[in-house]
Amino acid sequence: MKLSVLLLCALVAVQAALLAAPSAQAKGLQVGYYNKKCRKGVDVEGVIMWHIKRAIKKNPRVGAALVRLVFHDCFVRGCDGSREAPANIGLAAFDVLEEIKADLERKCRGVVSCSDILVYAARDATKILSRGHIDYKVPGGRLDGMYSSAYEAQAELPDSTFTAQQLIDNFARKNFDAEEMVILSGAHSIGMAHCSSFRGRLTAPSGEINRDYRNLLNYKCHQSANPAVVNNVRDEDYKTVARFMPGFKSRVRKIRDLCCRINGS
């Protein structure tokens, strides 16, 4: 984040800690937390939704980036708006968060935390990408962290090379059971991954990976040094699906007609 935005996040953290925050923390988070926190006419959640709609229209990749970002933020020290992790670098979504923060500072200075902006933004992205199928209320009142550690983030976030047991253990440390971990991992039905993140899996025994899908991924990963490939065959181009997974082609078309094409790729 730009220094100015970082400072504003810190400002909200301090203000919230000194003023509204003790009560917010004591009462816990609330749905509609910002309803009466700004001057009349400023609808905080509405402002965030407006920006997210615009950003996804311009670049649909932003939606998946936000969903991933909320996981990375909340998994380490809780949702605190921190960003110091190599895994976060380069995510287009930071620009959008900065834009929203700056707009909200103009409209309602020193009130809305970066961590709340991120959580609302990811919820809104999910709603837009699912064409309204996924819609839920999000309580607000989070405080921004004053401390952000790249080391901690690297140590606590699950690595793409983990075995199933390592993943289960990793999530258990955050009080998630295996079922919750699998449900959360469903977020990978959108977005992209660089080949370096999964190349090691492509040599797995044939019982562990679909042969046609392995061939498709091998083909994709040889197109350049370390390309990013869509996480879901639904978002793959027809020509490639037809070549490697012909039986899947008509299904891809049906799924897209029913729902969406989420990556803008």
Q: Do 9 and 97 touch, CB atoms closer than 8 A?
A: no
Q: DSSP alpha helices (H): ranges in the chain?
A: 3-18, 20-27, 44-58, 61-75, 93-107, 114-129, 150-156, 164-172, 178-185, 195-198, 211-221, 238-244, 246-258
> Per the structure block, which two tokens stand in for 132?
């309204």
Radius of gyration over every alpha carbon of the chain, rounded to an integer in angstroms: 20
**Burial, 46: exposed, middle or buried (Cβ in 10 Å; 0-12, 13-18, 19+)?**
exposed
CB hemisphere CA count around 221 (13 angstroms) = 18
In the complex, minimum distance from the CB of residue 224 to ligand HEM, in angstroms, rounded to a whole number:
14
In the complex, minimum distance from the CB of residue 30 to ligand HEM, in angstroms, rounded to a whole number:
23
> Does 25 engage in binding with ligand HEM (CB under 6 A)?
no
Binding-site size, ligand HEM (CB under 6 A): 21
**Burial, 118: exposed, middle or buried (Cβ in 10 Å; 0-12, 13-18, 19+)?**
buried
Exactly one of 109, 194, 199, 220 binds ligand HEM (CB under 6 A); that residue is 194
Q: Which of residues 202-231 bind ligand HEM (CB under 6 A)?
A: 228
Nearer to ligand HEM, 13 or 79 (CB): 79
Catalytic pick from 72, 188, 194, 222? 72
> Does 74 engage in binding with ligand HEM (CB under 6 A)?
no
User: Near ligand HEM by CB under 6 A, which window of 127-135, 187-195, 199-207, 214-222?
Assistant: 187-195
> Does 191 engage in binding with ligand HEM (CB under 6 A)?
yes
Nearer to ligand HEM, 5 or 70 (CB): 70
In the complex, minimum distance from the CB of residue 80 to ligand HEM, in angstroms, rounded to a whole number:
17
Cβ contacts of 225 within 8 Å, gap of 6 or more: none
Query: Any catalytic annotation for residue 72?
Result: yes
> Does 128 engage in binding with ligand HEM (CB under 6 A)?
no
Hunting for tokens 């990976």 — which residue is that? 209
Q: Which of residues 51-70 bind ligand HEM (CB under 6 A)?
A: 64-65, 67-68
Give dist(CA 243, CA 262) in Å, integer.
Answer: 22
Exactly one of 178, 193, 209, 255 binds ligand HEM (CB under 6 A); that residue is 193
> Does 188 engage in binding with ligand HEM (CB under 6 A)?
yes
Binding mask 138-167 for ligand HEM (x = CB under 6 A): --------------------x-x-x----x
- Nearest to 56, CA basis, from 114, 121, 113, 103: 121
Nearer to ligand HEM, 108 or 178 (CB): 178
Residue type, 134: I
Give dist(CA 230, CA 212) in Å, integer.
Answer: 16
Interface with ligand HEM (CB under 6 A): 64-65, 67-68, 71, 158, 160, 162, 167, 181, 184-185, 187-188, 190-194, 197, 228
Residues forming the active site = 72
